[in-house]
A and B are shown apart, each in its own frame.
Chain A
Amino acid sequence: MLYVGHTPQEEEHLLRTIGVKRFEDLIASIPESMRLKKPIAIPAGESEIEVRRLFQESERRNYDPRVVPSFLGGGIYDHVIPSVVNHIQLRSEFYTAYTPYQAEVAQGTLMTIFEFQTMICELTGMEVANASMYDAGSAAAEAVLLASGATGRRRILVARSLHPHHRAILETYGRPSGLEFVDVGGEEALTPDELRDVLDGETAALLVQQPSYLGAVESLGPLADAVHDQGGLLVVSADPVPLALLEAPGKQGADVVVGEGQSLGNPPSYGGPAAGFFATTMKLVRRLPGRLVGETVDADGRRGFVLTLQTREQHIRREKATSNICTNNNLIALGFTVTLALLGPRGLRKMAEQSLQKAHYLEERLAPLPGIRRQPEGAFFREFCLRLPVPASEAIAKIYAEAGILAGIDLGRVHRDWQDRLLVAVTEKRTREELDAYVEAMRRVVS
């Protein structure tokens, strides 16, 4: 019997020891009226090679990511994944272990989390980071809930440049508990002037994305000052790769920094699983959602690691918990940690610089094409938004058909008014040859 530890003969032995004649005696508490009278109506089980065939056939009906250069981003990026990562993620010791509640036999997991927490603190410039969340969207939602709890206020200002899907998740999480969301700013980098009419003593937080969904590099310092003047918090949703070069939000006054860890060490996987990160100040640590690992000593006084401050969490605080989350997306966070361990400070910087340089190389050749302009126009990092003279969906289809390139995100799919917009992300994986082929294909589309 597949995946079952005993044979039908051994079942007899189990029943005899238990002291019943038939298995049905054990489930007498299930009322007859609720018993399933016929087998579950799904196709019969299949052998390993048949199941494999089913998945491989599906694979062939998708584009082939091994040969199709992709310029898709928008929060999920196609950076290099070192070979080492998969070998570590596939260690049974890591992937078949549970949450490290029995710390004495889970030091391996706890130590990788402690390393992850340290790396997030370093990238974001914050004092404490948790063991990870589901994804950047729910992390942003948890961040504004924290801000509301910490300030006793309900109004959240949200920069229009936040990922539109994350913006929608804020509503799902926040509206039932009475949070009020006010959209601020436009497509260019947000300025304090744009906050003047809405930022007041009722504001719990300002939420800004760095770089913005459309690629703009935000200037966080003045925004932090403005919101702090009114007693509110600055929450930043930041992308970790640009943070190799961009000033750490914590150094610019952010109170909470969240973001998405997928892009370091993990494949897109159709958008999940990802790993949100969540970092804040020691002042707010008792409001932190999720798991946190701390260093301590054992009975012999030797170094060891444990889950700490568990009194914040749902399994102890129940309805008074900081969140209902009882997950750290550890395997994804492990991919992130191993990747950064391999890259080191120079490797990460190189990855960020190459993405930046190649994005600018491409933009300089696409933006001058007839009928195309970049919007927003300010500084960008490895992603930029183009307005096209044709619907973005049409350009994407043509460029894929003619050059076998995925040109970017059709923003018409995220916003009704953005049918002519294309969001283009460039990572270090794209070669000059691919960039040039992209430009040529786009030239044919617009001329």
Chain B
Amino acid sequence: MKSRDLRLIYDRSAPGHEGYRLPDLDVPEQPLDRILPKEALRAEPPLLPEVSEPEVVRHYIRLSTLNHHVDKDTYPLGSCTMKYNPKLNEDLCRLPGLAGIHPMAPEELAQGLLGLLHRFTGELAEIVGMDTVSLHPAAGAQGELLGIRLIRQYHDHRRNKKKTVIIPDSAHGTNPATARMVGYETVEVRSKEDGRLDLGALREVVNEETAGLMVTNPSTLGLFESEIAEASELLHSVDGLVYMDGANLNAMLGLTRPGDMGADMVHINLHKTFSTPHGGGGPGAGPLGIKAKLEPFLPVPVIVERDGRYLLDSDRPHSIGRLHPYVGNVGVILRAFAYIRSLGGDGLARISRGAILNANYLMKKIEEDYPVAKPGWCMHEFVSTLSWMRKQGVKNIDVAKRLLDHGVHAPTVSFPLIVPDCFMIEPTESESPTSLDRYAEILREIAREVREDPETVKSAPHRTPVRRLDEAGAARKLRVRWRPKPDGERGSND
């Protein structure tokens, strides 16, 4: 296919162009060297593109057309919950009287915003069955960091001598990375044959040095951890705490709650379960729900209500300190609150019900060609294994790339590590039966192709803006910024 225009904004730069006009200076101008020491001034200006406004707009619109996105078509990326992002939420988070508020404005001039955040805290705690929520974590991984940091503070406060955090082998990579950041050793515990937590194996590794357990429920294989309450009891018997990774919360709204399973804390990815956009990698938000015994240790400031007024309370002697420069990703939180307010309790329960129905429906539709790794009904996602395709020389990543040719997105193929040639599919509640039927049809067609014409699959994609990209080459010879060509001002490498 014809090569797409992959020029960068720098490639479009031409001397003299400007895309924005500032007002003229309306105060008397002083010479720069009277204001700033000469040695503090830049020797040469930063190299920035010179482009007119229409060209800037065309450039970014052109780039945008190279992306797949939720508003275009199916995006069933397992563990990422790529659901529809309601447009109302985008409008509300941009209201000037909310988006324009500075975090250091006096509290009495931000009562409306603080009130919304306070109310959101209460409703979110109720949804996950916890006593309160910290809004501070800027992302799921920072929610994990806060969780494990609170575990550490809890043990230090009680003078418990703890060393290890237990993590199932099915866990997402952030779990062990986080435990290490907080200074704990990680102990990996094997999963059962069906991918669930192995209570027997857990008993073997839990001891007096166990600080806590990190567990994802439903598991990364999309299965509910039926013995989670027993696991929690086991941890509590050695004064260990249970951290629940809330990545898969979209499976349980209105059905069950982390707080009712014995978990002491759960992080909530607002950009997954609560519909805030992923934005090409962020910003998200990862508030942490906690039980009351951890409340003294929460990061400051905490939004509190006193006599009908909302205040930022930093006077908390046992707090871990600060995690976020202010109170969290408010712009993201406002979107999530609009979602919760739109749906209410019943609506949220319908969301998880829809997600579970869609996942099981799609699983059933494709199971002949894409056998599920572990048998049984799934929750909101399922993991197929594509190992039969190996004899045709086809890997999961090839099927993923072939899906892109059909204008739909691929499932997750890099994870979970415990399933060979995994294919983790999470359709979400947003998909209609028609779109699921179409996705299933595309998958069946690709399976036929794997049998009859594997080369086409192996060399996919064929119809995307660029063909398969050389990732190894990119890492070998690092080119991580635009550079002007040595001979002139243009630096296009096309």
Contacts and interface: CB of A to CB of B under 8 A. Distances in A.
B283 A45 contact: no
Contacts of B464: 104-105
Nearest to A35: B256
B486 interface: no
B472 to A, nearest CB: 9
Given A17-B364, A95-B85, A406 B100 contact: no
Interface string A345-359: 111111101101110
B342 to A, nearest CB: 6
Given A326-B174, A327-B282, A345-B45, A272 B331 contact: yes
Contacts of B488: none
Contacts of B45: 244, 345, 349
B471 A296 contact: yes
A437 B209 CA distance: 63
8 pairs of A and B residues whose beta carbons are closest in the complex? A271-B326, A65-B100, A45-B344, A59-B97, A61-B112, A271-B103, A273-B283, A58-B112
Nearest to B355: A4
24 contacts: A20-B377, A40-B253, A46-B342, A56-B97, A59-B95, A60-B112, A80-B20, A84-B53, A84-B56, A90-B90, A93-B72, A97-B280, A105-B404, A113-B281, A176-B181, A295-B479, A299-B470, A324-B178, A327-B139, A345-B50, A347-B19, A353-B32, A358-B27, A381-B36
A166 B325 CA distance: 6
B123 A42 contact: yes
Interface string B473-494: 1110011111000000000011
Contact of B113 (A1, A87, A129, A270): A270
B22 A34 contact: no
Contacts of B479: 294-296
Contact of A14 (B9, B176, B361): B361
B46 A63 contact: no
Contact of B353 (A23, A35, A357): A23
A315 B474 contact: no
Contact of B186 (A41, A102, A131, A319): A319
B275 interface: yes
A385 to B, nearest CB: 14
B63 to A, nearest CB: 4
Nearest to B481: A118
Contact of B481 (A27, A42, A128, A169): A128
Contacts of B57: 84, 87-88
Interface in B398-418: 400-401, 404, 409-410, 414-415
A5 B138 contact: no
A251 interface: yes
B342 A357 contact: no
Contacts of B35: 356-357, 360, 379
Interface residues of A, number: 212
Interface string B230-255: 00000000000000000000001111
A177 interface: yes
Contact of B152 (A43, A61, A176, A342): A176
A98 B109 contact: no
B149 interface: yes
A251 B10 CA distance: 22
Given A6-B432, A84-B20, 10 more contacts: A5-B430, A14-B433, A23-B353, A51-B342, A52-B92, A58-B116, A98-B409, A247-B42, A310-B475, A311-B475
A324 B101 contact: no
Contacts of A285: 478, 480
B56 to A, nearest CB: 5
Interface string A49-92: 00110111111111111100010101110101010101110111
B349 interface: yes
Interface in A12-33: 13-15, 17-20, 23, 25-31, 33
A129 B480 CA distance: 8
A197 B148 CA distance: 36
Given A5-B432, A321-B177, A27 B253 contact: no
Interface string A376-412: 0001010000000000010011001000001001100
Contacts of B328: 272
B330 A272 contact: yes
B467 interface: yes
A367 interface: no
A249 to B, nearest CB: 11
A248 interface: yes
Contact of B468 (A55, A104, A122, A294): A104
Contacts of B22: 80, 347, 350-351, 354, 428
B326 A118 contact: no
B278 interface: yes
Interface in B332-351: 332, 334, 338-351
A155 interface: no
Contact of A45 (B63, B347, B415): B347
A86 B179 CA distance: 38
Interface in A164-182: 165-166, 168-169, 171-173, 176-178
A329 B83 CA distance: 19
A79 B188 CA distance: 49
A225 B473 CA distance: 36
Given A76-B103, A245-B41, A319 B48 contact: no
A104 B461 contact: yes
A87 B63 CA distance: 14
A111 B19 CA distance: 20
A48 B331 contact: no
Given A134-B142, A135-B324, A269 B48 contact: no
B350 A1 contact: yes
A84 to B, nearest CB: 6
A313 B174 CA distance: 9
A3 B20 contact: no
Contact of A51 (B92, B226, B327): B92
B19 A342 contact: yes
B39 to A, nearest CB: 7
Interface string A300-339: 1011111011110111111111011111111110100111
B321 interface: yes
Contacts of B104: 72, 74, 76, 409-410, 413
Contacts of A397: 106
B442 interface: no
B102 A76 contact: yes
Contacts of B354: 1, 4-6
A39 B284 CA distance: 27
A259 interface: no
A58 B113 contact: yes
Given A18-B360, A103-B469, A115 B482 contact: yes
Contacts of A274: 325
B474 A308 contact: yes
Task: Pick the most buried of B101, B102, B341, B474: most chain A CB atoms within 10 A of its CB.
Answer: B102
Given A62-B98, A360-B35, A431-B26, A327 B141 contact: yes
